[in-house]
Amino acid sequence: MSSIDLSFTSAKSPKAGKILISDPFLDEDYFRRSVILLCNHDEEGSFGLVLNNYVDIDLHQLEATFPDIKARISIGGPVDTQNLFFIHTYSDLKDSLEIREGLFFGGRYDYLLEEIKKDPIIGATKARFFLGYSGWSKDQLKSEIKENSWIVAENISNGEIMRTTDDDLWKSFLSKQGKRFKTISNFPINPNDN
């Protein structure tokens, strides 16, 4: 009889533009069943944004000058939660950092606002907003991956990253990582609920 491999291990290395998917039983408030876009990863450390931890508030409610595009906001992580961060697909937005081909972090907020005002319907699909971010010190993320707290995924498109309508993003993204992970994605949060 053959056994089924249900280990939560990843052979891929972290780097900017890849996705981190948390272990199904990771028991941390910010990172329980989280999906993180890794915005930077180098010898000094790493930072990223949690894609699936939404708050029930629209950006227009926080800032009246922002167009009412129903921009859903995520809690990007536990660091600097009083500040707003954003990713976008505007390739010519001044002072942006390209995370991966066609996807950018930050830049001039006033320029972003003007771009979105030109076409609010398209603008709603070209920018995502976050309160705070997730950060790791030197070698911390590598260590957490080695401990199987995260797997690294790279088969996620920019469109999937920008979409804010999937309320089960962790399961969706984990399922895309192959048969073993598809099985794991169906585990209950509490193993006793099985």
| C-alpha–C-alpha distance, residues 96 and 158, integer Å | 16
Q: What is the 3-state secondary structure (H, E, C) of 13-38?
A: CCCCCCEEEECCCCCCCCCCCCEEEE
Q: What is the pLDDT of residue 189?
A: 64
Which fold would CATH assign to domain 19-181? VC0467-like (3.40.1740)
Candidate from 76-85, 108-117, 174-183 with smallest mean pLDDT:
174-183
Is the pLDDT at 188 greater than 80? The verdict is no
CA 38 and chain centroid, separation: 7
Confidence bin at 154 (pLDDT 50/70/90): confident
Confidence bin at 9 (pLDDT 50/70/90): confident
User: pLDDT per residue over 16-60, tens digit each?
Assistant: 999 999 988 887 877 999 999 999 999 999 999 999 999 988 787
Q: What is the pTM of this model?
A: 0.89
| C-alpha–C-alpha distance, residues 143 and 162, integer Å | 28
* More confident call, 184 vs 91: 91
Is the pLDDT at 119 greater than 90? The verdict is no
Q: For the chain, which residues make up each domain, given as ranges?
A: 19-181
Burial class (CB in 10 A: 0-12, 13-18, 19+), 80: middle
